[in-house]
Structure 1
Amino acid sequence: MSAAQTTIAVIYDYDQTLSPTYMQDETLFPHFGINANQFWKKSRELVDQQGYDGELAYLKCMLDYLEMDRPTNDELVKLGAQLRYYKGVPEVFDELNGTLSQQHRSLGIKIEHYIVSSGLKALLDGSSLAPSVKRIFGCEFGTDKDGRISFPKRVISHTTKTQYLFRINKGMLEPHEDVNDHMDPELRPIPFQNMIYIGDGPTDVPCFTLMKRYGGHAIAVYNAEETSRASFRKCYQLNALADRVKHIAPADYRAGSHLRLLLEEMILDIADSIVRKKKLEIEEGTVSAPHF
């Protein structure tokens, strides 16, 4: 039996997508007295000089810097309450849910929000975003016998982010579920055509590429208040030069903004296509009574 396929998934990167800053900079570093510039310099050196993957480099730096005062995961969750966002976040999650019409809802069409980040899941779990999001995927630490973070438990790099798009696609949201198991397209609860991915730059290219390949939707966002224009240039290159995304917009999630208009139209287009598909299924499954 095929899946209903009436769910629309809006999937967000976090750092510089939902927030203008990196989550560590505004939570961990001030709390533990860590110099952000020195931290990221050391992390970059591990990548450039010792061949570390970027995400493993920053996780190792965290453990090194916190060697004498390692927090518990619960303490990291509490720090997540300090996270700040772009304008219109977190209100956008509930407001986008109101985009659907009564006809859409009568057919069971709904919107789910997901975050897929290379940042720390614990911080996001403690944020004001968590209650409005179906699932948060991020890097995680295991703990020692005293409950202190001790070793990376899960690492999400910019390339492995695509695994989580497939998890959403197949409804395999739990870590123990093998996302590589074969599943026929009609059995997948959220087709890629029902997905919208929002990211900010080159680290999101694998996800942008996946969306383009399988008929999904993607938007690259930039910080319009950044005077250097570096954020905008990244998106411009992804759009005009590399042809990775069709749409770019300032990271303003408020009603009436360019980004919100794009999101609302994409949601309506997806919802209307689901309606057309359902009507076609009904018509093809209906056999007319004989006429006399």
Structure 2
Amino acid sequence: MAAPQNTIALVFDYDQTLSPRYMQDDVLFPEFGIDPAQFWKKCNTLVKEQQWDGELAYLKCILDYLQMDHVTNARLTQLGAGLSFFPGVAEMFDTLPTICLGHDHELAGVKIEFYIISSGLKALLDGSKLAPKVKAIFGCEFGEDEQGHISFPKRAISHTTKTQFLFRINKGMLEHNQDVNDHMPPDQRPIPFENIVYVGDGPTDVPCFTLMNKSGGQAIAVYNPDDASGRSFRKCFQLSNHANRVKHIAPADYRQGSHLWLLLAEMVRETADRILRRRTEERESSTVAAPTF
């Protein structure tokens, strides 16, 4: 028997997508007195001169800077409460489902789930105001030593491995002890790719944008409208106009009525209506009329 497939997943990158600031700049560096310029210089040196993977270089530098402070994951989670977001982000998680889904959708079991996939620190996101509003958060993680202090990267999520988590959402395998490579027929996957919308901000989201394009999902690239340099916009313009990675770009303004809000709302409505039509057709095709006299 096929899975209901009545869930719509809205999946977001974090840095520069939900927030105008990198999470480290927002709460980590100020807390521990870290000079951002020196931090990123050290990271770039590892990447360019020693060929480190970017995410591992960044995690190593965090450990190097924080080792004297005996930081725990719990403390990082506390700091996450101070994360800041683009306008309308916090409200969107509550208002979008209310406005986009009608009574008929609810009767058919149509629902929206939110996810975050980030190369940033999961512990920070776990403490943010967004955590209670999302189904799952995937991000880089630190293991802890016997004293409970962060000691070594436990999980690193790069821009290429982000796609693994889209497959986890697609298959409903949200726990790391579930093997996402297990075969699952398309009709058994709880959230087909055509029910997924992915929102990101630039080149690091290209693998996810590409997967969405090839698998029938939808994608939006967002830019910071307050970036006076125009660099944020140009990244999205290149992805849309030249690289053909996304069909839609929009300012990262999540307030009701904004360009981005209208795109998300229309994508959700169209998907919800398609699910409703399919459920209605399935019910009608399986109904056998009673004999008449």
Per the TM superposition, whether the score is higher than 0.5 is yes
- Contact in 2 for aligned 1:63/1:70 (Cα 8 Å): no
Counterpart Cα distance in 2 of 1:18 and 1:37: 23
Counterpart Cα distance in 1 of 2:70 and 2:199: 33
Q: 2:270 is matched with which residue? A: 269
Q: In the TM superposition, what is the alpha-carbon distance from 1:167 to its structure 2 partner?
A: 0.3
1:1-292 paired onto structure 2 within 5 Å? 1-98=1-98, 99-292=100-293
1:153-175 Cα offsets, whole Å, 9 max, x none, are 01110000000000000000000
Q: Secondary structure at the match of 1:67?
A: helix
Counterpart Cα distance in 2 of 1:129 and 1:278: 32
Counterpart Cα distance in 1 of 2:149 and 2:2: 45
Q: In the TM superposition, what is the alpha-carbon distance from 1:221 to its structure 2 partner?
A: 0.1
Counterpart Cα distance in 2 of 1:70 and 1:108: 47
Q: Secondary structure at the match of 1:68?
A: helix
Q: Return 5+ residue gaps in structure 1 as ranges.
A: none
Q: In the TM superposition, what is the alpha-carbon distance from 1:97 to its structure 2 partner?
A: 1.3
Q: In the TM superposition, what is the alpha-carbon distance from 1:283 to its structure 2 partner?
A: 2.0
Counterpart Cα distance in 2 of 1:124 and 1:138: 8
Counterpart Cα distance in 2 of 1:87 and 1:27: 18
Counterpart Cα distance in 2 of 1:251 and 1:141: 30
CA RMSD of aligned residues (A): 0.8
Counterpart Cα distance in 1 of 2:291 and 2:29: 75
Counterpart Cα distance in 2 of 1:190 and 1:67: 41
Counterpart Cα distance in 2 of 1:250 and 1:199: 11
Counterpart Cα distance in 1 of 2:46 and 2:96: 41
Q: Secondary structure at the match of 2:48?
A: helix
TM-score by length of 1: 0.99
Q: Secondary structure at the match of 1:169?
A: helix
Counterpart Cα distance in 1 of 2:288 and 2:274: 23
1:180-237 Cα offsets, whole Å, 9 max, x none, are 0000011100000100000000000000000010100100000011000000000000
Aligned length, in residue pairs = 292
Letter in 2 for 1:94: D
Percent identity, aligned pairs only? Answer: 66
Q: In the TM superposition, what is the alpha-carbon distance from 1:73 to its structure 2 partner?
A: 0.3
- Contact in 2 for aligned 1:10/1:195 (Cα 8 Å): yes
Letter in 1 for 2:10: V
TM-score by length of 2: 0.98
Counterpart Cα distance in 1 of 2:225 and 2:26: 20
1:235-285 Cα offsets, whole Å, 9 max, x none, are 000000000000000000000000000000000000000011111111221
Counterpart Cα distance in 1 of 2:111 and 2:16: 27
Q: In the TM superposition, what is the alpha-carbon distance from 1:66 to its structure 2 partner?
A: 1.4
- Contact in 2 for aligned 1:141/1:154 (Cα 8 Å): yes
Structure 1 runs (4+) deviating above 4 angstroms are: none
- Contact in 2 for aligned 1:252/1:259 (Cα 8 Å): yes
Q: In the TM superposition, what is the alpha-carbon distance from 1:57 to its structure 2 partner?
A: 0.6
Q: In the TM superposition, what is the alpha-carbon distance from 1:101 to its structure 2 partner?
A: 0.7
